[in-house]
């Protein structure tokens, strides 16, 4: 037993703010792992993960879900997918590896990002002020995912529900992003 213990801390210390019609909260129960597909193995990988957990490789800027809905894959680059799944432990790579059963490279990205969920009937109004891409429900349906820049901050935006969006920004930018969202909330409400 070590004399010292490391305590974990999320990027935004579990920030949670409720406003009239919109909630802004840090996502703390998810992990994110980059899954790189070795050159020339896309078809093999696809059939392996289909078999092991019912996942298919999504088209660009779209997502797919595993058959038990526990893993979502995002596609933002040709040879990589990002796996977004419920897991709070230390070893997201091994956790995913056990489900995937495919010859791919895993790189944990869970601590790289601050993840903020903006949801509620006013969520789109709030995001429209800071998000330069079109998130109109028709062009950005549930399950869409995209990389963009909000308030000078590189951001991934994922629509995880009718009125719910998850924004990912590099962890060090987390406070600035939260501030930007809150400013937008104040401007809109």
Partner 1 sequence: MDKIVIADKPILAIITSGGDAPGMNAAIRAVTLKAIQNGYQVFGFIAGFHGIIEKDYIDLTLKNVRVVAVIDSRSISPVLRVPGAEIFMGTDVVDTKGRRALKSIKLSNGKTIDCDSLAVSGGWNPNLHLTCHHRGIPKWNEEIASFIPDESTPPGMSVAGRAKGTMVLSDAIIEGHNVGSSVASGLGYNVKTLDPAETPSVPYNVSANWGVPSGKNRAWVDFQNDVTAKDIRLANQEGFKSVEHVKRYTTLGMATDQGKTANVLGIGIMAENMGQTMQETGTTIFRPPYSPVAIGAFAGRRRGMEFYPTRYTPSHNWSVEQDAVFVEVGMWYRSQWFPQPGETHWRQSVDREVLQTRASVGICDVTTLGKIDIKGADVSEFLNKVYVNAFAKVPVGKTRYGLMLREDGMVMDDGTTARLSENHFVMTTTTANAVSVYRHLQFCHQCLWPDLDVHMISVTEQFAQYAVAGPNSRKLLQKVVDPECDISNEAFPYMAAGEITICGGMPARLFRISFSGELAYEIAVPTRYGDSLMRVLMEAGEEFNVIPYGTEALGVMRIEKGHAAGPELNGQTSAYDLGMGGMVSGKKDFIGYKLGLREDLQRDDRMQLVGFKPVNKNDLVDKGHSLAGAHLLGLRDKPSTANDQGWISSSVYSPMLGCYIGLGFVKNGLNRKGEFVRAVDLVRGSDIEVEICSPHFYDPEGERLRV
Residues at the site binding partner 1, with contacts judged by CB under 8 A: 1-11, 34, 36, 38-39, 79-80, 90-91, 105, 107-113, 151-153, 170-173, 175-177, 179-180, 183
Beta bridge partners of 22: 19
Minimum Å gap between C-beta 49 and partner 1 is 17
Rounded Cα distance between 110 and 16, Å, is: 19
Comparison of 142 and 170: residue with beta carbon closer to partner 1: 170
Asked if residues 48 and 42 have their Cβ atoms less than 8 Å apart, the reply is no
Least CB distance from residue 47 to partner 1, whole Å?
19
Q: How far is the CB of 182 from partner 1 (least distance, A)?
A: 10
Tell me whether residue 80 or residue 148 sits nearer to partner 1 (CB atom): 80
With CA atoms as reference, report the closest residue to 137 among 156, 165, 104.
Answer: 165
CA angle centred on 80, ends 11 and 150, rounded to 5°: 45
Reduced to 3 states, what is the DSSP secondary structure of residue 38? coil
Taking the complex as a whole, the smallest distance from the CB of residue 88 to partner 1 amounts, in Å, to 10
Decide if 156 contacts 146 (C-beta within 8 A).
Answer: yes
Q: Which is nearer to partner 1, 36 or 142 (CB)?
A: 36
Q: Which residues make beta-bridge pairs with 123?
A: none
- Min dist. Cβ of residue 161 to partner 1 (A): 26
Looking at the Cβ atoms of 113 and 158, the one nearer to partner 1 is 113
Candidates 175, 170, 177, 163; CA nearest to 23 is: 163
Distance CA 29, CA 16 (A): 14
| Residue nearer to partner 1 on the CB measure, 68 or 98 | 98
């Amino acid at each position: 037993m070590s004399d010292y213990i490391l305590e974990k801390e999320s990027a935004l210390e579990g920030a949670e703010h409720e406003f009239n019609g919109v909630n802004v909260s840090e996502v703390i129960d998810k992990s994110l792992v980059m899954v790189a597909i070795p050159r020339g193995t896309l078809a093999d990988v696809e059939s392996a993960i289909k078999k092991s957990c019912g996942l298919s490789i999504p088209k660009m800027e779209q997502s797919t879900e595993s058959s038990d809905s526990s893993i979502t894959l995002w596609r933002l680059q040709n040879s990589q997918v990002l796996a977004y799944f419920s897991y709070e432990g230390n070893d997201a790579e091994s956790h995913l590896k056990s489900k995937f059963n495919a010859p791919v490279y895993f790189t944990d990205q869970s601590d790289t990002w601050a993840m903020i969920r903006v949801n509620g009937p006013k969520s789109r109004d709030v995001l429209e002020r800071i998000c330069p891409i079109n998130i109109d429900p028709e062009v950005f349906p549930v399950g869409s995912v995209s990389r963009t820049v909000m308030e000078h901050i590189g951001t991934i935006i994922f629509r995880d529900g009718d009125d719910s969006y998850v924004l990912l920004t590099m962890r060090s930018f987390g406070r600035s992003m939260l501030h930007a969202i809150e400013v937008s909330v104040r401007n809109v409400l």
